[in-house]
Amino acid sequence: VARLTGVSTATVTRALQGHPRVLPATRQRVEESASKLGYRPDRLARTLVTGVSQTIGLVIPSSGDAFWGEVVDGFEQQAVDAGFSLVLGLAHGDPERERRMLELLLEKRVDGIVVAAPAGTPRDLHGLVGTTAPLVLVTWDATATPEELDRAVRDPVHEVIASLAASGAGGAWFAHVTTDDIGGSAALVRHLIELGHERIALLAGPALRPAVLRLLGYRVALEEAGLAPGAILTSAETFEAGVEMARELLSARVPPTAIVAYNDVVAIGAIRGARDLGLHVPGDVSIVGFDDIEFASYVDPALTTLRWPKREMGRLAIELLLQGLDGRDEPMTEALAGELVVRSSTAPPPARPAT
């Protein structure tokens, strides 16, 4: 390559890498011929000898998703700033597919891996990646068993929380960034209580860990205020599920005056469900979600929701990964706080109909 221009390959390397001990003159010449030849160093060859690829493997559930899309912006930003590339895989919720992706990433010698909302269990992931590369998990959707859900509904809140804390996230093998679901959920419910609501229902979403935590936060806020839990429904986390569950909830003999939906998409569905019944939001019923995806402010009424710092989550995950690459190896979990965003889907409950 550029060797045909005077010196040895070793000198070329040193000149281009900005090694201190090269004569400015020779560096000059090397640079000239390099650009003349349109020389592009082969980073793979470099990786082979240095052992670092400056590449991070990223596996997420899906790319069409409003929530993860924004988190990915954070991943990319931070990775690029640190000089890393991202190789992307979509798991589509399939543990098998996820496993293959991870295997492939490892064979491609990525320096580290971050997986968002893993389909597999932490134990599986750890078994796969082991100590080959630092691994950080962003959000962990562990399946909640019927018993766990049941406990979360019935047992004293503080006990359930204590036992969750004691059992850990199920893996002390890697860094973990999540959201403070308990705190966020409680903030949302407190907002409704301040507005005067007393019958607050919960569309709990799928039987996964975040749903359990949000359920716990809901109970915490209700207990604080001395209120009883309202109806609690579990289901898929889709727009359609929101529509149906809202209809069901609002057709009850004594319907709730407020609904906490599992996320914004479900909440938007719930608004539609309420409308289908001829109800007005927020006049007849207040509805809130979680996430603050872009469209939460575009719907009518604009959604009151709990915003997670999505880009920050992405950034932090990469930062923890880089720390892992620097040798830091105490596992840690960071639970990021959400922010209550009050818009137009919440209002005081309707005045009691005069009996």
The binding site for DNA (CB under 7 A) comprises 1, 6-11, 13-17, 20-23, 25-27, 40-42, 45-46, 48-50
CB closer to its own copies out of 16 and 157: 16
* 66 near its own copies, judged by CB under 8 A: yes
Measured at the CA of 343, the angle between CA 340 and CA 345, to 5 degrees, comes to: 110
Judged by beta carbon, residue 104 or residue 252, the one nearer its own copies is 104
| Beta carbons of 243 and 270 less than 8 angstroms apart | yes
Distances (CA, A) of 104 to 60, 101, 239, 303, 314: 15, 5, 34, 41, 22
Structure tokens at 168: 């850990």
Nearer to its own copies, 57 or 205 (CB): 57
Q: Give the shortest CB-310-to-DNA separation in angstroms.
A: 36
Binders in 162-201 for its own copies, by CB under 8 A: none
Q: Which residues contact 48 (CB under 8 A, 6 or more apart)?
A: none
CA-based R_g, the chain, Å: 26
What's the rounded Cα separation, in Å, for the pair 280 and 289? Answer: 17
Which sign, positive or negative, has the C-alpha torsion 13, 18, 19, 20?
positive
40 binds its own copies (CB under 8 A): yes
**Interface with its own copies, residue 81, by CB under 8 A:** no
Backbone phi, psi, residue 154, to 5°: -105, -40
H helical segments located in 168-208: 181-194
Query: Which parts of 209-268 interact with its own copies (CB under 8 A)?
Result: 239, 265, 268
Q: Which is nearer to DNA, 23 or 252 (CB)?
A: 23
* CB of residue 31 to DNA, shortest distance in Å: 12
- Under the rule (CB under 8 A), what is the footprint of its own copies? 40-45, 47-48, 53, 55, 58, 62-66, 69-70, 72-73, 76-77, 80, 85-90, 103-109, 132, 239, 265, 268-269, 271-272, 275, 294-295, 297-300
